[in-house]
Amino acid sequence: MTDIFIIITLILLNGIFSMSEIALVSARKSKLSAEAKKGNRSAATALRLIENPDRFLSTVQIGITLIGILTGLFSGAAFASELGDMLCRAGIADKTAHSLAQILIVTVVTYLSIVIGELIPKRIGIAMSDRISLWIAPVMHVLSVVTMPLIWLLSVSTNLAVRLLGLKNKSTVVTEEEIRSLIQEGTESGQVQEVEQDIMERALVMGDQTVGRIMTNRSDIISLHSRMSTDEIKEIVFGNIHRCYPLYCENGKEVKGIVSVGKLLRAVDSGRIDWSGIASEPVYFPESMTAYDALAVLKSGDVECALVCDEFGDMQGIITLRDVLEGLVGIINDQSDAPLIEPLGDGYIVDGQYRWYDFLAFMDSEYLYEPSGYTTIAGWFLDTYRHFPVEGETVEWQGLSFRILDMDGPRIDKFLVKKIKQEEE
């Protein structure tokens, strides 16, 4: 009876070690870090163990190995002999009874060790990893200190063997792909809303963007000239309302300043336009400036918009806070804006300036996005097929058909995009 009690105790101890191991491995460092900052000593201890996995994993392995040896000793010959004698008294032949006793003991102990000593504790450890980590960390810390000499010997031996095999430590840096996978898992489990997933994925994409790729291109800019009459300005502004307009000098080459739509409308209403009073000094961003650096400047409120220049100092476009926000939440359509994508039969008419990522997101194909040197669907076509198309040209890509509907000179104005129907086998 004593042997049975010892075996059950050893199996339960094995379960505690297994549960501790999986709990510390699965625990969220962010939550433990937050608890540690609040003064929780157990959380701080758990973090130290997690940051030095060789230490606590060696401790766990030592404990499990010793328990395995002790379990084998107590469930060995003595216990088998007692059970064999019981079977003999039940009328089974002596040799058969002792062989059967050994088989029964091995089977029962193995079953209990797997279920109670491994599977159930690990399930509990995964389900309650943070709570168990806080509870078990002080105990594991004490055990790791007690077994420090043995842990050191095991660590040195392991590192030597790894070095002889030519293996390198695996990088623990979290990649963007791993972050995307975690976000996707959260969405599938219902912990993350689809709109949250979309914004977080766009935020990752924005990290690779420069202002030169999210700006309003020079060809789309509505500009003003200091020699314009009030009527000409009214016609331009009321026909093309934007947050701000670049103001050119009389020669039409140099930008004199930036005029906000609010100041311009008030000046138009007054009937007298004093450019020096409403135009502000232009702010310049290099094309290579990151989108997030631009966001830091634009959100301060001191700068409404900035001119984007190339390495030669030539203006290539203009960028506003709205351009950056559209990169994070998608295209923001005003009632006056022409739609960039609209349905037509079994396909869609797509503006050539529609952002490539937004197009892929609309088609539920964000996984096809890769950082590149283009921003729009027109840029994708030119980069992929390396030629200027003609109207009516059709290409197929990733199950989609792209037909050039309209060209504006060398510029691709409209696409007709359809999903290619797969023939049933």
Q: What CATH number labels 211-329?
A: 3.10.580.10
Burial class (CB in 10 A: 0-12, 13-18, 19+), 291: buried
DSSP class of 271? T
Its CATH architecture, for the domain 341-419, is: 2-Layer Sandwich (3.30)
Q: For residue 169, what pLDDT is reported?
A: 65
Of 161, 192, 170, whose CA–CA distance to 179 is shortest?
A: 192
Q: Characterise 401 by phi-psi region: left (phi > 0), alpha (psi -120 to 50), beta (else).
A: beta
CB atoms within 10 A of CB 82: 12
Of 320, 288, 290, 286, whose CA–CA distance to 208 is shortest?
A: 290
Q: Residue 195 is which amino acid?
A: V
pTM reported for the whole predicted model: 0.56
Q: Could you tell me which residues come within 8 angstroms of residue 362 by beta carbon, excluding any fewer than 6 positions away?
A: 341
Q: For residue 369, what pLDDT is reported?
A: 83
What pairs with residue 247 in β-bridges?
Answer: 224, 257
Q: For residue 170, what pLDDT is reported?
A: 63
Rg of the chain in Å (alpha carbons): 35
CA angle 402, 403, 409 (to 5 degrees): 120
SS3 at position 138 = helix
Q: Could you tell me which residues come within 8 angstroms of residue 415 by beta carbon, excluding any fewer than 6 positions away?
A: 349, 350, 351, 352, 377, 381, 402, 403, 404, 405
Q: For residue 273, what pLDDT is reported?
A: 80
CA 405 to CA 394: how far, in whole Å? 9
Please check the confidence at residue 370 and state whether its pLDDT lies above 90: no
Q: For residue 416, what pLDDT is reported?
A: 92
Q: For residue 425, what pLDDT is reported?
A: 40
Q: For residue 1, what pLDDT is reported?
A: 61
Give percent above pLDDT 90 in the chain: 6
In terms of pLDDT, which residue wins out, 81 or 61?
Answer: 61
Q: List, for residues 35-46, the tens digit of each pLDDT value.
A: 888 888 888 888
Q: What is the mean pLDDT of residues 286-300?
A: 88
CA angle 327, 329, 330 (to 5 degrees): 65
Lowest-confidence pick of 119-123, 226-230, 286-290, 328-332: 328-332
Lowest-confidence pick of 40-49, 242-251, 284-293, 324-333: 324-333
Q: List, for residues 63-110, the tens digit of each pLDDT value.
A: 888 888 887 777 655 566 666 777 777 777 777 777 777 788 778 888
The answer to whether the CB of 294 falls within 8 A of the CB of 317 is no
Residue spans per domain, the chain: 2-164, 176-206, 211-329, 341-419
Structure confidence at residue 424 as a pLDDT band (50, 70, 90): very low
